[in-house]
């Protein structure tokens, strides 16, 4: 039997400890490597934090599986009922260049259902949190999306899609027309933070053509508990087991946004 209370406390403690580590380690010279290209970075801090989180999780829950971006846990996710989906640092490019706008993202998923979401922004000391069925909080204050917002008054976050495959997908109007159809576009370069900001009502929607489960898992749980909606860009259910496009939205904006996306 899973003790959700205990799981939550540990997930939060470890996210905060990892956040503290990220700030400490960043003060020193750090090694930065290219993964697939000069715009795809990994640092020794990403790796150290992933190893730290894996160590903590397995010392308390040796029968749980872990999916992490840097791939230090070797088990097959399909073999575990309970999975921790972690991004040790979401927003590595920001971490390297700006030392802000990055987060530690931790989700606990049981048999495909999101139980706990933790997104911790260490430089602002902001903790976005949700437990399935019990609502979402920002630094322990409940967050719940209640204000209708039409697209023309919405602030929309994206991962940059003007250098992606919008033409092939028939989505060029997102590049050409979305900026003029809403109040403004924001790009923070940290998917988990951007989705958590939708949950907190700081922006009204977030769209990405391609994210991995560790980018969206924790924030999806938080946003849905805050009353928001997530789906893929074609309106299908967003599940935790594979990479996908992501729409994360204020519930009142979702229909209008999806109609805009589906246009053409």
Among 48, 50, 90, 121, binds Ca ion (CB under 5 A): 90
Residue 210 · residue 245 · CB < 8 Å: yes
Beta partners for residue 136, in sequence order: 130, 143
Residue 239 · residue 77 · CB < 8 Å: no
Alpha-carbon distance of 187 to 206, in angstroms, equals 9
Distance of closest approach, residue 191 Cβ to ligand IPD, in angstroms: 3
3-state secondary structure of 144: coil
Q: Which of 7/207 has CB closer to ligand IPD?
A: 207
Annotate each residue in 53-72 with x if it binds ligand IPD (CB under 6 A) or - if it does not, as one string: ----------------x---
Among 215, 249, 253, 258, binds Ca ion (CB under 5 A): 215
**Total binding residues for ligand IPD by CB under 6 A?**
13
223 binding ligand IPD? (CB under 6 A) = no
Among 65, 189, 201, 213, binds ligand IPD (CB under 6 A): 189
- Tokens 């921790």 sit at which residue? 84
Among 92, 137, 219, 249, binds ligand IPD (CB under 6 A): 92
48 binding ligand IPD? (CB under 6 A) = no
**CA angle, 74 then 42 then 209, to 5°:** 85
**Secondary structure letter of residue 15 according to DSSP:** H
What DSSP string runs through 178-195? HHHHSSEEE--S-HHHHH
Please, what is the angle between helix 44-60 and helix 4-26, to 10°? Answer: 160
87 binding ligand IPD? (CB under 6 A) = yes
69 binding Ca ion? (CB under 5 A) = yes
Residue 233 · residue 254 · CB < 8 Å: no
190 binding ligand IPD? (CB under 6 A) = yes
Q: Residue 224 binds which one of Ca ion, ligand IPD, none, with CB within 5 to 8 A depending on kind?
A: none
Binding residues for ligand IPD, rule: CB under 6 A, are 69, 87, 90-93, 159, 189-191, 208, 211, 215
Binding residues for Ca ion, rule: CB under 5 A, are 69, 87, 89-90, 215
């Amino acid at each position: 039997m899973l003790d959700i209370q205990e799981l939550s406390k540990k997930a939060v403690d470890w996210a905060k400890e990892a956040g503290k580590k990220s700030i400490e380690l960043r003060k020193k010279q750090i090694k930065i490597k290219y993964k697939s290209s000069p715009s795809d970075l990994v640092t020794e801090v990403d790796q150290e934090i992933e190893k730290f989180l894996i160590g903590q999780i397995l010392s308390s829950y040796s029968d749980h599986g872990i999916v992490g971006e840097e791939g230090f846990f070797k088990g097959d996710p399909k073999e575990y009922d309970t999975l921790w989906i972690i991004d040790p640092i979401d927003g590595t490019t920001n971490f390297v260049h700006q030392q802000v706008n990055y987060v530690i993202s931790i989700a606990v998923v049981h048999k495909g259902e999101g139980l706990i979401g933790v997104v911790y922004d260490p430089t602002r000391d902001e903790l976005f949190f949700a437990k399935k069925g019990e609502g979402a909080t920002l630094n322990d204050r409940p967050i719940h999306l209640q204000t209708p917002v039409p697209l023309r008054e919405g602030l929309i976050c994206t991962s940059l899609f003007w250098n992606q495959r919008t033409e092939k997908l028939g989505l060029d109007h997102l590049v050409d027309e979305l900026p003029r159809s809403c109040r403004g576009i924001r790009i923070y370069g940290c998917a988990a933070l951007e989705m958590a900001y939708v949950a907190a009502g700081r922006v009204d929607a977030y769209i990405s053509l391609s994210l991995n489960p560790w980018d969206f898992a924790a924030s999806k749980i938080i946003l849905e508990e805050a009353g928001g909606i997530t789906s893929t860009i074609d309106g299908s259910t967003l599940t935790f087991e594979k990479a996908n496009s992501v729409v994360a939205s204020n519930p009142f904006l979702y229909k209008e946004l999806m109609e805009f996306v589906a246009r053409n």
